[in-house]
Amino acid sequence: MEQVIQLEKVNKWFDDFHVLKDIDLTVTKGQKIVVCGPSGSGKSTMIRCINRLEAHQKGHIIVHGTELTNDLKNIDLIRKNVGMVFQQFNLFPHLSVLDNISLAPIWVKKMPKKEAEEIAMSYLEKVKIPEQAKKFPGQLSGGQQQRVAIARSLAMNPDIMLFDEPTSALDPEMIKEVLDVMIQLAEEGMTMLVVTHEMGFAKTVADQMIFMDDGRIVEQAKPDDFFNNPQSDRTKLFLSQILNH
Amino acid sequence: MSIVTQNFSRNKYFNWAVKNLFSSWVNTIMTIIAVIFVYEIGSFFLNWSIFSADFKTNFEGEIITDRTLCSKNIVPGEYGACWAIIYARWDQFMYGLYPVEETWRVNLTYALLPFAIIGILFDKLPFRKLFIYFTFIFPFIAYFLLYGGPGLSTVGTNKWGGLLVTLFLGVTGIGLAFPLSILLALGRRSKMPIIKSLCVVFIEFIRGVPLITLLFTANVMLPLFLPDGVNPDNLLRALVAVTLFQSAYMAEAIRGGLQAIPKGHIEAAEALGLTYWQTTRKIILPQALKIAIPPIVNTCIGLFKDTSLVLIIGLFDLLGIGRAALADMTWTKLYYEVYVFISLVFFIFCFGMSRYSLYLEKKLKTDNS
């Protein structure tokens, strides 16, 4: 299998605080990895390092054979191929939904406006809200905003998608509509790295589970083994809390 | 009884007055005192400025050509204003010593100015793009008209004065300071330490020094920094000082707007692959400037009034021309008329800016809800 992301002994500090400790991770093409763990365990920081929203201080991160360094060219190259969806949606409030999505194709890929808008519409249809194209983000529900955010990422045609707790800021009744879009994406073969506590989603979609605690990957296993036969006590405790809740 | 109250209750003005002006004894007394106060001041001022005032002619219908013909200088006890000084000096107030036969050029510039500004002020204006284009070519038109060029005789800035100098410094200072202040505000938030400290030092230095000092400095020191033979005229020196001063204040207003933009927007733009400048232009500035416009307008009002300080380096702005008029033996001692007139002109411009700022604040509130 083709390796698309490799993390080798990645370490990161926020001042004195050691957030990531010797992280090793390999992602192959088409793989869906769900990352879970208590808050502060470094899971968000880890995926934010993959498109350089955070810089790591030690170790190597290689995406599509390009190593992430301070070289801005490499960072731009990697960002073009790696999409990211945030917990807080982070739509641009002064732009319409359509403009939110077509912005990057127009400015980063230098696509003609008309073509970019056609692409934007096709992705809006994919996330099932084409009728909202002319509205502004403030006029949409949280679930709709997050689907626009997914469409915005997809419009750059990335081959890897990072999701940073995409449903944590949503009301319960809106979580499903976002997860459905993500499941559809997974079925189409997108390589996905998802930080989430939605264990139902993990069981449906993931082919690899990662549990992080205190800046380390504590356990990495297939979902079946992970849920039914966790190895470490820390994972067992976490799962018992999150599943009985 | 009930009929009476019902009758009154239909009158909402009456109800409003009862509730807000006469709700208690204290309130009633305060209202009466305030009304008497306003009446006394207002009637005195109206009498002075209009009803007992001389405009072009005095009480006998003679044309006033010097101050001795003002009614108040002839009739004992008469106190009305003598506006003849404003009429007599009108051209100077508007154009300074600009040659009389060329003043149409200034008038034309004044007439075009609103069209250059309107596109910036109102974002839903029809044909806004055309107006914005005009905004960018206006400085060249204005330069050609005011200073001269092919087909028009040159009028040196030493001949400019009055409202022309006030507006020139105000409008050009604000116009030049705006792009500079954006760069300063961005620079102050830069991750590059040298750029950041340069911007911080510049902003804090300028903000820590009175405008008068800057004007003196520009007047005396600017020629030292320039090659021999290059001798910028006084107006240009003042413009440099005014622009630097305004840019520091505006930069701080814009920085406030920048700080209000959530970090997530910037991260989202970065994650999409937008460069720093693309993110700044497309995501950050449109949002930050919108938030910062009311404080920006406030600094503009401040600057517009501060332009009157240029009279201390020998420029004749509106205030300078007024003082020159008072120094003229024909018109001397008509202080009130001159200063009231100058105040009125400043007030019209500043009040306009202030109302615009309020309008924007209201608009921003509705836009965001």
pLDDT in tens, B150-166: 988 999 888 999 999 99
Q: What is the pLDDT of residue B369?
A: 42
User: Is residue A238 within 8 Å of A36, Cβ to Cβ?
Assistant: yes
Contact assignment for B264 to A88 by CB distance below 8 Å: yes
The answer, yes or no, to whether residue B208 has pLDDT greater than 90, is: yes
Contact assignment for A103 to B290 by CB distance below 8 Å: no
For residue B17, what are the contacts with CB-CB under 8 A and spacing of at least 6? none
Confidence of residue B13 (pLDDT cuts 50, 70, 90): confident
Task: Order across the sheet with A17-28: list the strands.
Answer: A17-28, A3-14, A58-63, A66-67
Contact assignment for B283 to A92 by CB distance below 8 Å: yes
Long-range pairs for B357-366: beta carbons < 8 A, 24 or more residues apart:
B357/B293, B357/B294, B357/B297, B357/B298, B357/B301, B360/B293, B360/B294, B360/B297, B361/B294, B364/B290, B364/B291, B364/B293, B364/B294
Contact assignment for B273 to A153 by CB distance below 8 Å: no
Q: Nearest-CA neighbor of A51 among A151, A169, A154, A164?
A: A164
CA dist A147 and A89 (Å) reads 9
Summarize the confidence of residues B126-134 as an average pLDDT. Answer: 92
For residue B129, what are the contacts with CB-CB under 8 A and spacing of at least 6? none
Q: Find chain B residues with C-beta within 8 A of A83's C-beta.
A: 271
Dihedral sign for Cα atoms in the order B47, B53, B59, B61: negative
For chain A, list residues whose CB is within 8 angstroms of any CB belonging to chain B: 51, 53, 76, 79-80, 82-84, 86, 88, 90-94, 103-104, 107-108, 138, 149, 152-153, 156
b/e for B105-136, b at 16 or more Cβ within 10 A? bbeebeeeeeebbebeeeeeeeeeeebeebbe
Q: What is the pLDDT of residue B8?
A: 53
What's the gap in Å between the CA of A117 and the closest CA on chain B? 16
The answer, yes or no, to whether residue A155 has pLDDT greater than 60, is: yes
Contact assignment for B271 to A53 by CB distance below 8 Å: yes
Judge residue A112's burial from the number of C-beta atoms within 10 Å of its C-beta, 0-12 exposed, 13-18 middle, 19 or more buried: exposed
The answer, yes or no, to whether residue A161 has pLDDT greater than 90, is: yes
Contact assignment for B273 to A76 by CB distance below 8 Å: yes
Q: What is the pLDDT of residue B132?
A: 93
User: Is residue B102 within 8 Å of B153, Cβ to Cβ?
Assistant: yes
Q: Which of A90, A94, A138 sits opposite B268 (nearest CB)?
A: A90
Q: Find chain B residues with C-beta within 8 A of A108's C-beta.
A: 272-274, 278
- Work out whether strand A17-28 and strand A3-14 pair parallel, antiparallel, or are unpaired: antiparallel
Q: Nearest-CA neighbor of B347 among B297, B298, B301?
A: B301
Q: What is the pLDDT of residue B360?
A: 86
Q: What is the pLDDT of residue B79?
A: 86
Q: Which of B271, B274, B368 sits opposite A51 (nearest CB)?
A: B271
Q: Which of B123, B192, B263, B272 would you mutate first to test chain A, the one with the most A CBs within 10 A?
A: B272
Dihedral angle at the C-alpha atoms of A140, A142, A143, A148, nearest 10 degrees?
60
Contact assignment for A92 to B262 by CB distance below 8 Å: no
Q: Which of B265, B272, B278 sits opposite A156 (nearest CB)?
A: B272
Confidence of residue A17 (pLDDT cuts 50, 70, 90): very high
Please name the residue of chain A whose CA is at the shortest distance from the CA of residue B290. Answer: A94
DSSP helix/strand/coil, B187: helix
CA dist A182 and B221 (Å) reads 66
Residue in this structure with the two tokens 């005014």, named with its chain if needed: B242
DSSP helix/strand/coil, A26: strand
Residue in this structure with the two tokens 């974002």, named with its chain if needed: B123
Please name the residue of chain B whose CA is at the shortest distance from the CA of residue A107. Answer: B274
Q: Which of A53, A83, A107 sits opposite B274 (nearest CB)?
A: A107
The answer, yes or no, to whether residue B178 has pLDDT greater than 90, is: yes
The answer, yes or no, to whether residue A230 has pLDDT greater than 60, is: yes
Strand boundaries in chain A, DSSP class E? 3-14, 17-28, 32-36, 58-63, 66-67, 82-85, 160-164, 191-195, 208-213, 216-221
Domains annotated for chain B, with CATH where assigned, are: 1-51 (no CATH), 53-87 (no CATH), 161-364 (1.10.3720.10)
Confidence of residue B314 (pLDDT cuts 50, 70, 90): confident
Summarize the confidence of residues B259-283 as an average pLDDT. Answer: 94
| pLDDT tens column, B187-205 | 999 999 999 999 999 999 9
DSSP helix/strand/coil, A91: coil
Contact assignment for A90 to B262 by CB distance below 8 Å: yes
Contact assignment for A92 to B273 by CB distance below 8 Å: no
What's the gap in Å between the CA of A86 and the closest CA on chain B? 8
Q: Find chain A residues with C-beta within 8 A of B268's C-beta.
A: 84, 86, 90-92, 149, 152
What number is the ipTM of this complex? Answer: 0.92
Summarize the confidence of residues B207-223 as an average pLDDT. Answer: 89
Q: What is the pLDDT of residue B214?
A: 92
Q: Which of A53, A79, A94 sits opposite B286 (nearest CB)?
A: A94
Contact assignment for B271 to A149 by CB distance below 8 Å: no
The answer, yes or no, to whether residue A205 has pLDDT greater than 70, is: yes
Contact assignment for A93 to B282 by CB distance below 8 Å: no
Summarize the confidence of residues B9-33 as an average pLDDT. Answer: 85
Long-range pairs for A109-116: beta carbons < 8 A, 24 or more residues apart:
A109/A80, A109/A156, A116/A155
Q: What angle is formed at CA B306 by the lines to CA B304 and CA B307, rounded to 5 degrees?
A: 70
CA distances from B183 to A121, B186, B252 (A): 36, 5, 11
- Work out whether strand A66-67 and strand A58-63 pair parallel, antiparallel, or are unpaired: antiparallel
Q: What is the pLDDT of residue B45?
A: 93
Confidence of residue B234 (pLDDT cuts 50, 70, 90): confident
Q: Kindly report the average pLDDT of chain B as a whole number.
A: 90
For residue B184, what are the contacts with CB-CB under 8 A and spacing of at least 6? B199, B202, B203, B247, B248, B251
Please name the residue of chain B whose CA is at the shortest distance from the CA of residue A72. Answer: B275
DSSP helix/strand/coil, B176: helix
Q: Which of A108, A139, A159 would you mutate first to test chain B, the one with the most B CBs within 10 A?
A: A108
The answer, yes or no, to whether residue A152 has pLDDT greater than 70, is: yes
Q: What is the number of CB-based contacts under 8 A between chain A and chain B?
A: 57
For chain B, list residues whose CB is within 8 angstroms of any CB belonging to chain A: 262, 264-265, 267-275, 278, 282-283, 286-287, 290, 368
Confidence of residue B1 (pLDDT cuts 50, 70, 90): very low
Residue in this structure with the two tokens 């083709």, named with its chain if needed: A2
Q: What is the pLDDT of residue B19?
A: 86
User: Is residue A141 within 8 Å of A162, Cβ to Cβ?
Assistant: no
CA distances from B319 to A7, A244, B2, B333 (A): 70, 79, 61, 15
Q: What angle is formed at CA B186 by the lines to CA B183 and CA B187, rounded to 5 degrees?
A: 80
| pLDDT tens column, B60-76 | 888 888 888 888 888 88
Contact assignment for A82 to B265 by CB distance below 8 Å: no
Summarize the confidence of residues A152-168 as an average pLDDT. Answer: 95
Percentage above 90 pLDDT, chain B: 63
Contact assignment for B264 to A90 by CB distance below 8 Å: yes
User: Is residue B84 within 8 Å of B64, Cβ to Cβ?
Assistant: yes
Query: In chain B, count of helices (H) and strands (E)?
Result: 17, 0
Structure-token pair, residue A122: 């096709």
Q: Find chain A residues with C-beta within 8 A of B278's C-beta.
A: 107-108
Counting Cα atoms < 13 Å in the Cβ hemisphere of B107 gives 7
Residue in this structure with the two tokens 């005009």, named with its chain if needed: B134
| pLDDT tens column, A43-79 | 999 999 999 999 999 999 999 989 998 888 889 889 9
pTM, entire model: 0.85
Dihedral sign for Cα atoms in the order A5, A48, A92, A71: negative
Q: Find chain B residues with C-beta within 8 A of A93's C-beta.
A: 287
The answer, yes or no, to whether residue B341 has pLDDT greater than 90, is: yes
Biggest CA-to-CA distance, chain A: 55
Backbone phi, psi, residue B156, to 5°: -60, 150
Q: Nearest-CA neighbor of B245 among B304, B189, B313?
A: B304
Confidence of residue B7 (pLDDT cuts 50, 70, 90): low
Q: What is the DSSP string of B190-235?
A: -S-HHHHHHHHHHHHHHHTS-HHHHHHHHHHHHHHHSPTT----HH
Q: Which of A104, A149, A153 sits opposite B274 (nearest CB)?
A: A104
| pLDDT tens column, A119-133 | 999 999 999 999 999
